[in-house]
Chain A
Amino acid sequence: MRSLLSFLFLFLLGVHCPCLAGSTEQHTGPDYGDAILVGSIGDASNLIPMLSSDATSHEIADLIIDGLVKYDKDLNLVGDLAESWDIADGGKEITFHLRRDVKWEDGVPFTAQDVLFGFNTIISPKTPTAYAGDFLEVKSAQVIDPYTFRVIYKRPFAPALSSWGNIVVLPKHLLAGKDITKSPLCRRPVGLGPFKLSSWKTQERIVLAANPDYFDGRPYLDRYIMRIIPDPATMFLELKSGGLDWMGLSPIQYDRQTNTPFFKKNFRKYHYLSFSYTYLGYNLRCPLFKDKRVRQAISYAIDKEEIIRGVLLGYGVVATGPYKPDAWFYDPNVRRYPYDPKRARALLEEAGWRDSDGDGWLDKDGRPFSFTVLTNQGNSLRDKTAQIIQYRLKKIGIKMKIRTLEWTAFINDFIDKRRFEAVILGWTLGQDPDIYDIWHSSKTGPKQLNFIGYKNPEVDRLLVEGRRTFDRQRRKRIYWRIQEILAEDQPYTFLYVPMALPIISSRFHGIKPAPAGISYNLIRWWVPKHEQKYIMP
């Protein structure tokens, strides 16, 4: 199994090799050395993955600690610390066969005990973790031998496999019997991944050094240094002055400010679809939006292409449902809502909304069509999106007001109390199609994520079935049907999937954009000896 996997991996690399910018290099093979300086807006909080939920912490922890499984460049689940696994008993039983050549940074071998310890820690009531949910489906977990680990689920649970990432891998020999929240490992983790922590200055920088004993081969780069620069403008100036090698650009920086000969010579820009989408969500308890035709009409009245052009400068695609278009479970054939104000007006008329008093605004039973959309402060993309929508809705006679709120107040006072008519928000997408928590009718309670109150018995049934089905083709059919229904119902007007727009110094070779983004093969990035900038002692 393992040899087959690595063969497959090499094969894929070989096929994709010559198509990208770095292909002019002479075939001398990669060189070791140099460091990459990455800009980040926020600092990490805690480097034990199960204790933190911010993106930066996970970005760093992912380089320090591996999981049993991981997603490859095409978003297929492949083995990482587990060489292979067997699924038995209709999906209820998973047996992982672990690699035997893995050691923690301090030389202690990694075994199934570490996984069991991680599992026991995550389900322990004493552990303040946001990730226990997936593991509550587990009936029992056991160590068969030091390199075999078995979990038995209460019911078949399709997202099960993917949950065994680095969240549940902990060094038992350092943590057993200790209070994990007060462990020094939160700030100085001991891992087994491609890099290890070398220093961390709060709110300043995190320095990682290559792990020479990494089981999958030492990374070519000596160091990975994350600089924390909270202000995007400063970060861009740092990039320009040579103080950074890698940052994410805004559409305007990508499109207008990085076309100078200086940038063309020293940097390379990449773009790929990010794992998120932005939507206009309706409170379905609100009488205005109970009628499907009204929601469909608004979807026709909004020109999504225009939003992408205006807000993202073209760096995004229209969202047609809750998934991004390059996912294997994406259904490209669902009902679409191109900009069509005539059709919008016709649908509204059907639903009883017409301008009977001639004041330019639609009305019904003497009340004008007017609502307020809420969005969170500090996200200028959503702000601008709201303004464009406002303009388009005004054209068909709907008055939309915009209100921006501080995040915590927004969630607690408006979303949680259901005091909203419509919102502009976004969801981050996982690699698994399971969206039970967002669309199932049992998730409409307080603090739960189906806050718009969407209830559709068929979707409910399909969501449950999707969680219980392992076969990829059958799962695909299930999620295709869900996408069809959502497209018809329009509980959200799905707006856009933005692109991630990273820029990286051109001295780095081996970067190969894929559906998973670019950082999946960071350990294979390298700099030719004569271009190396930072010589490590």
Chain B
Amino acid sequence: MALLLYLIKRFAVLIPTFLGITLISFFVMHLAPGEPMSLQADFNPKMTPEMRQRLRAQYGLDKPLYVQYARWLKGLLVLDLGRSFAPDRRPVWQKIKERLPVTLLINGLSLILIIVIAIPLGVKAAVEQNSLFDQATTVLVFLGYAAPAFWIALLLMLFFGIYLGWLPISGLHSLMGYGQMAWWQKTLDWSKHLLLPVLVSSIGGLAGLSRYTRSSMLEVLRQDYITTARAKGLPERVVVYRHALRNALLPLITILGLSIPGLIGGSVIFESIFAIPGVGQLMWSSVMARDYPVLMGNLVIVSILTLLGNLLADIGYALADPRIRTGIQSGD
């Protein structure tokens, strides 16, 4: 009951926060110099001033900014994100939707890969603090973090794609003969194409999570109840993984919650390198073209996910940690 009340309260705060985000973003976005027609019209000898005015009117850019915002908000209420200002004039949601699955797939896979690798790494590094293993992994994950993704990607492409010839260079699946493949061949084909992108996008994320696990683990290992567990004569494996790790994972819930919006964020750099038609590229080109509706559309999705991610992290926390649960009850 208390939890429900807590949820409702939290939820009620989300709505004004969300509106605030859209309002600020909308106005900040229009501060950037230039207009959506810039790319089409600037430096185009065939463009006449009347044509420019006409385009402005069509996009509604001749109205004051608050009118434009009100119009956009009205659309949002009926879940209409409007149409893109790009020459294709397609509905914003359609443009984002067609790119979501690939982005979700790659980011989801790389998030899983990061968790699967980083947590055991962090645990081992904490248990064997200051050992050779600890120091070696520290150096390695930070190298991965510091090395530019595009550079690693190109090296891997060169090695696996050209030198060994094992993997394709870019794209999502083979161009020729893909239609005639059986489902398992298609899966294999996709896996081959996705291996490098997933790998590259994980490398940078390893450092953060493994370091986080390590420090949170160190914290827990110093606690009295760990000493108690050891004193009871429990095997080291049980002490580390059952008693220590479960507590150490609590802060990670927050991190995972915060990485939910990242799932659709995508990255321009690695999407460009691997020629993957993801959300990142769409956003980047929309920023360059000042395609406000697409930018706002993406912003809506990302901010909703961020807010929800935060909420989920809080709930997850409350569920996982009895101390926080009781805190809610006695707090108010």
Q: Does B41 contact A (CB under 8 A)?
A: yes
Identify which of A222-230, A366-374, A473-481 touches chain B: A222-230
Report yes or no: A45 in contact with B169, Cβ–Cβ below 8 A.
Answer: no
What CA separation (Å) do A230 and B272 show in the bound complex?
Answer: 5
What CA separation (Å) do A204 and B44 show in the bound complex?
Answer: 27
Report yes or no: B274 in contact with A125, Cβ–Cβ below 8 A.
Answer: no
Q: B95 — which chain A residues lie within 8 A by C-beta?
A: 202
What CA separation (Å) do A471 and B35 show in the bound complex?
Answer: 41
Q: A534 — which chain B residues lie within 8 A by C-beta?
A: 176
Identify which of A66-74, A129-137, A503-511 touches chain B: A129-137
What CA separation (Å) do A449 and B40 show in the bound complex?
Answer: 14
- From known contacts A130-B47, A227-B175, A243-B170, infer whether A411 and B158 are also in contact, taking CB-CB under 8 Å: no
Q: A186 — which chain B residues lie within 8 A by C-beta?
A: 88-90
Identify which of A51-59, A81-89, A357-365 touches chain B: A51-59
Q: B282 — which chain A residues lie within 8 A by C-beta?
A: 203
Nearest CB of B to A445, in Å:
8
Q: Does A326 contact B (CB under 8 A)?
A: no
Q: B44 — which chain A residues lie within 8 A by C-beta?
A: 53, 130
Q: B274 — which chain A residues lie within 8 A by C-beta?
A: 234
Q: Does B86 contact A (CB under 8 A)?
A: yes
What CA separation (Å) do A126 and B54 show in the bound complex?
Answer: 8
Q: Does A201 contact B (CB under 8 A)?
A: yes
Nearest CB of B to A275, in Å:
14
Q: B290 — which chain A residues lie within 8 A by C-beta?
A: 408
Q: A233 — which chain B residues lie within 8 A by C-beta?
A: 154, 273
B171 contacts which of A35, A181, A204, A449 (Cβ < 8 Å)?
A204
Report yes or no: A241 in contact with B175, Cβ–Cβ below 8 A.
Answer: no
Report yes or no: B169 in contact with A238, Cβ–Cβ below 8 A.
Answer: yes
Q: Using a CB-CB cutoff of 8 Å, which residues 38-67 of chain A contact chain B? A: 45-46, 51-54, 57
Scan B141-157; emit 1 where CB is below 8 A from any A CB, else 0. Answer: 00000000010001001
Report yes or no: A234 in contact with B169, Cβ–Cβ below 8 A.
Answer: yes
Report yes or no: A238 in contact with B172, Cβ–Cβ below 8 A.
Answer: no
Chain B interface, DSSP helix/strand/loop, else mixed: loop
Report yes or no: A46 in contact with B87, Cβ–Cβ below 8 A.
Answer: yes
Q: Does B33 contact A (CB under 8 A)?
A: yes
Q: Does A399 contact B (CB under 8 A)?
A: no
| Chain B CB within 10 A, most for which of A57, A130, A132 | A130
Nearest CB of A to B161, in Å:
5
Report yes or no: A243 in contact with B52, Cβ–Cβ below 8 A.
Answer: no
Nearest CB of B to A264, in Å:
17
- From known contacts A243-B169, A449-B43, infer whether A52 and B87 are also in contact, taking CB-CB under 8 Å: yes
Nearest CB of B to A289, in Å:
21
What CA separation (Å) do A205 and B282 show in the bound complex?
Answer: 15
Q: A237 — which chain B residues lie within 8 A by C-beta?
A: 154, 157-158, 161-162, 169-170
What CA separation (Å) do A225 and B174 show in the bound complex?
Answer: 13
What CA separation (Å) do A227 and B275 show in the bound complex?
Answer: 9
Q: Does B117 contact A (CB under 8 A)?
A: no
B275 contacts which of A51, A202, A229, A445 (Cβ < 8 Å)?
A229
Q: Does B130 contact A (CB under 8 A)?
A: no
- From known contacts A53-B44, A203-B277, A234-B275, infer whether A409 and B168 are also in contact, taking CB-CB under 8 Å: no
Interface size class of A (residues with CB under 8 A): 35 or more
Nearest CB of B to A55, in Å:
12
Question: Size of chain B's interface in residues, with CB distance under 8 A?
Answer: 54
User: From B46, which residue of chain A is reached at the shortest CB distance?
Assistant: A133
Report yes or no: B157 in contact with A133, Cβ–Cβ below 8 A.
Answer: no
User: From B34, which residue of chain A is reached at the shortest CB distance?
Assistant: A408
Report yes or no: A238 in contact with B170, Cβ–Cβ below 8 A.
Answer: yes
Report yes or no: B89 in contact with A182, Cβ–Cβ below 8 A.
Answer: yes
Report yes or no: A136 in contact with B34, Cβ–Cβ below 8 A.
Answer: no
Report yes or no: B48 in contact with A136, Cβ–Cβ below 8 A.
Answer: yes
B34 contacts which of A225, A227, A411 (Cβ < 8 Å)?
A411
- From known contacts A128-B58, A234-B273, infer whether A51 and B99 are also in contact, taking CB-CB under 8 Å: no
Scan A406-449; emit 1 where CB is below 8 A from any B CB, else 0. Answer: 01110111000000000000000000000001100000010101
Q: Does A269 contact B (CB under 8 A)?
A: no
- From known contacts A51-B87, A128-B55, infer whether A202 and B99 are also in contact, taking CB-CB under 8 Å: yes
Q: Does B98 contact A (CB under 8 A)?
A: yes
Q: Can you identify 25 A-B contacts, CB atoms within 8 angstroms?
A: A46-B87, A46-B88, A51-B87, A53-B44, A128-B87, A128-B89, A130-B51, A133-B45, A133-B48, A133-B51, A136-B48, A203-B277, A204-B172, A204-B275, A233-B273, A234-B154, A234-B170, A234-B273, A237-B162, A238-B170, A241-B168, A409-B32, A409-B33, A411-B34, A445-B49
7 more A-B residue pairs beyond the given contacts A230-B281, A237-B154, with a C-beta to C-beta distance below 8 A: A128-B58, A203-B281, A234-B274, A412-B34, A447-B41, A447-B49, A449-B43
Sorted from nearest, which 10 A-B pairs have the closest CB atoms?
A408-B34, A203-B277, A437-B45, A230-B272, A229-B275, A46-B87, A133-B46, A412-B33, A45-B87, A409-B33
- A interface list, Cβ under 8 A from B: 35, 37, 45-46, 51-54, 57, 125-126, 128-134, 136, 181-182, 186-187, 201-205, 225, 227-231, 233-234, 237-238, 240-241, 243, 407-409, 411-413, 437-438, 445, 447, 449, 534, 537
- B interface list, Cβ under 8 A from A: 32-35, 38-49, 51-52, 54-55, 58, 86-90, 95, 98-99, 150, 154, 157-158, 161-162, 165, 168-172, 175-176, 180, 271-275, 277, 281-282, 288, 290
